[in-house]
């Protein structure tokens, strides 16, 4: 059973997971400080999970190795509405191919990779660590 409710709100959550380009991933540093970072992502609908490819040297990888509970949130609309906050547990997704060999990721982000001045090979080398965030709770309005 999905953690996303079967409601009008749940429909909005699914739409944002399918169509948004950026979500904020918040991990927690060793001293307990929240560390939000905007990240590219893919929704793995069948698994109630979100996949994020990370730079191999990203501090968040150290954070989730010790404190795997994270949150994801989308920007609100201009009036402060359409809030989506997702709680989850992050782990390395060792089963995933490089980002540039995973067709759903390529389809969603190829133009963005080019826009930031990278080619597929350099992107795959830098953003080589996949995290899977298994959703445990969705809240918002």
Beta-carbon-side half-sphere exposure of residue 132 (alpha carbons within 13 Å): 13
Give a yes or no: residue 59 inside a domain.
yes
Local confidence band at 123 (pLDDT 50, 70, 90 cut-offs): very high
Give a yes or no: residue 1 inside a domain.
no
Residue 89 CB neighbours (<10 A): 14
Which residues, including other chains, have CB under 8 Å from residue 12's CB and lie 6 or more apart? Answer: 82, 84
Range(s) of the domain holding residue 69: 8-140
Give a yes or no: residue 3 inside a domain.
no
Q: Residue 92 belongs to what H/E stretch?
A: strand 84-92
Which residues, including other chains, have CB under 8 Å from residue 70's CB and lie 6 or more apart? Answer: 25, 26, 27, 28, 64, 87, 88, 89, 90, 133
pLDDT digits (tens, 9 = 90+) for 43-76: 999 999 999 999 999 999 999 999 999 999 999 9
Give a yes or no: residue 2 inside a domain.
no
Give a yes or no: residue 106 inside a domain.
yes
Give a yes or no: residue 127 inside a domain.
yes
pLDDT digits (tens, 9 = 90+) for 100-116: 999 999 999 999 999 99
If one counts the domains in the chain, the total is 1
Give a yes or no: residue 94 inside a domain.
yes
Q: What is the pLDDT of residue 120?
A: 87
């Amino acid at each position: 059973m999905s953690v996303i409710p079967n409601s009008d709100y749940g429909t909005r959550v699914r739409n944002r997971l399918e169509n948004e380009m950026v979500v904020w991933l918040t991990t927690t540093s060793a001293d307990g400080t929240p560390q939000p970072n905007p990240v590219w992502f893919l929704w793995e609908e069948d698994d109630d999970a979100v996949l994020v490819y990370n730079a191999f040297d990203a501090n968040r990888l150290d954070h989730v190795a010790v404190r795997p509970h994270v949150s994801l949130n989308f920007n609100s609309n201009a009036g402060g509405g359409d809030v989506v906050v997702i709680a989850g547990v992050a782990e390395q997704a060792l089963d995933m191919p490089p980002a540039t060999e995973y067709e759903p990721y390529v389809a969603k982000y190829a133009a963005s990779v080019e826009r930031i001045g990278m080619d597929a090979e350099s992107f795959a080398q830098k953003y080589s660590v996949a995290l899977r965030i298994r959703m445990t709770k969705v809240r918002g309005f």
